[in-house]
């Protein structure tokens, strides 16, 4: 049975973990508090991969006061050697008496093993305190460890009548400056930003993070930029290739086009610093589609999972958003709604097949609604989605 003291200490550990929101990739965000009764004697959080974990930082801060203390940790302490030694060894060496952690680490190298190692050392171990709040800090890490794929968030911006751009394609700016700055923070916490070749050719985006360095940590990490580009049509002069940070271009393995020209395009992009990976196109006749250059979106997510991408932020056009939704690959939509009307000739939010029955419409649960400047930001998660065809 957890006490009010336990809850306050874990809540503080969650506050500490949030300090690593933009810096810990590909590791989880973790905080730790060491307490003697109601007195906090040490605090720590994980700042960057390869550096000490939250438990080690808290133990260093506590010094000899760690002996007999309770450790409150937002994620099960690790029991394996990675870039750093196991945290369970540090807790045992620090002679902590009790460990309370919020959620079990689904990493197969850790899951349950950290808790068991602590129990074998004679410590009292409890779990589940503020588990939902702790999980909300690490949706991508938890999902990747369980499924091998990142948490997929699709960003959309629209008018009151659900339009994203004028018929001419003009869209700068539907939303206000506060909403655009808010997007920068979502980019910053993401492991990668994904877009399609259509957006690259139309808008030439940078897709980088343009914010000051975070208050905790040293310098800002730029997320990986990912372009779905089956035929490698990304121009070598693209702005994202001229700015800091890595760019991954995902092409098609079975293109059915001139290999010499494809190799030349590939060489030009590699020379500009891009990394090229390939995934399969859909099997012929497996799903409807008009372009042989389409990519398998599930394969793209598997590829990014292997690259340790936890949270994937998607900024693209209505075709890419619609394809991800049809494939039931979206975990969350973040929709910015501007108090404007663009009219029926303007471009739609999402491309999707015509519905014959209202009950076939995808349903979403609103998990947050907030005003951002003049606009409203909705966070919604799918309740049920139909499957469809991948694109690239």
Q: In what order do the strands lie in the sheet with 375-384?
A: 275-279, 247-252, 224-228, 192-196, 311-314, 151-158, 332-337, 375-384, 363-372
C-alpha 385/C-alpha 238 separation (Å) is 35
CB 28 within 8 A of CB 308: no
Tokens encoding 26 = 């590909």
Assign residue 122 a region (left: φ > 0; alpha: ψ between -120 and 50; beta: otherwise).
left
DSSP letter, residue 276: E
C-alpha 116/C-alpha 120 separation (Å) is 6
C-alpha 137/C-alpha 132 separation (Å) is 9
CB 104 within 8 A of CB 76: yes
Tokens encoding 268 = 């030009």
CB 69 within 8 A of CB 34: yes
55 is catalytic: yes
Tokens encoding 120 = 């074998």
Those residues with Cβ within 8 angstroms of residue 184's Cβ, 6 or more apart along the chain or in another chain: 209, 210, 211
Those residues with Cβ within 8 angstroms of residue 192's Cβ, 6 or more apart along the chain or in another chain: 150, 223, 224, 225, 226, 248, 304, 307, 309, 311, 312, 313
C-alpha 202/C-alpha 233 separation (Å) is 12
The residue annotated as part of the active site, out of 22, 43, 47, 55, is 55
The secondary structure element, H or E, covering residue 269 is helix 259-271
Q: Hey, which bits of 114-162 come out as E strands?
A: 124-127, 151-158
Tokens encoding 243 = 């700015």
- Indicate which residues carry an active-site annotation: 55
């Amino acid at each position: 049975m957890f006490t009010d003291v336990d809850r306050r200490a874990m809540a503080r550990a969650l506050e500490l973990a949030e300090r690593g929101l933009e810096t810990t990739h590909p590791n989880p965000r973790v905080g730790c508090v060491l307490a003697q009764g109601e007195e906090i004697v040490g605090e720590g959080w994980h700042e960057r991969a390869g550096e000490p974990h939250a438990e080690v930082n808290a133990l260093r801060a506590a010094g000899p006061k760690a002996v007999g203390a309770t450790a409150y940790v937002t994620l099960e302490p690790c029991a394996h050697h990675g870039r750093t030694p196991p945290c369970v060894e540090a807790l045992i060496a620090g002679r902590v008496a009790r460990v309370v952690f919020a959620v079990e680490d689904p990493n197969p190298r850790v899951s349950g093993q950290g808790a068991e190692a602590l129990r074998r050392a004679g410590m009292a171990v409890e779990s589940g305190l503020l588990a939902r709040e702790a999980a909300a800090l690490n949706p991508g890490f938890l999902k990747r460890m369980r499924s091998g794929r990142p948490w997929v968030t699709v960003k959309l911006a629209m008018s009151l009548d659900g339009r994203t751009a004028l018929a001419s394609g003009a869209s700068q700016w539907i939303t206000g400056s506060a909403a655009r700055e808010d997007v920068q923070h979502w980019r910053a916490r993401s492991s990668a930003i994904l877009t399609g070749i259509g957006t690259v050719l139309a808008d030439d985006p940078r897709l980088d993070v343009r914010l000051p360095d975070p208050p905790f940590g040293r310098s800002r990490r730029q997320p990986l930029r990912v372009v779905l580009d089956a035929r490698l049509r990304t121009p070598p002069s693209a702005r994202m290739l001229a700015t800091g940070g890595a760019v991954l271009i995902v092409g098609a393995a079975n293109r059915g086009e001139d290999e010499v020209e494809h190799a030349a395009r590939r060489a030009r992009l590699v020379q500009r610093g891009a990394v090229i990976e390939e995934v399969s196109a859909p099997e012929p006749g497996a799903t409807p589609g008009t372009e042989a250059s389409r990519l398998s979106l599930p394969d793209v997510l598997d590829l990014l999972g292997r690259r340790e991408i936890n949270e994937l932020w998607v900024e693209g056009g209505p075709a890419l958003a619609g394809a991800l939704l049809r494939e039931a690959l979206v975990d969350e939509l973040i929709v910015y709604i501007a108090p404007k009307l663009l009219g029926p000739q303007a471009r739609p939010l999402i491309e999707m097949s015509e519905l014959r029955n209202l009950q076939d419409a995808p349903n979403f649960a609103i998990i947050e609604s907030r005003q951002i400047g003049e606009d409203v930001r909705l966070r919604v998660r799918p309740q049920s989605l139909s499957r469809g065809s991948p694109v690239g």
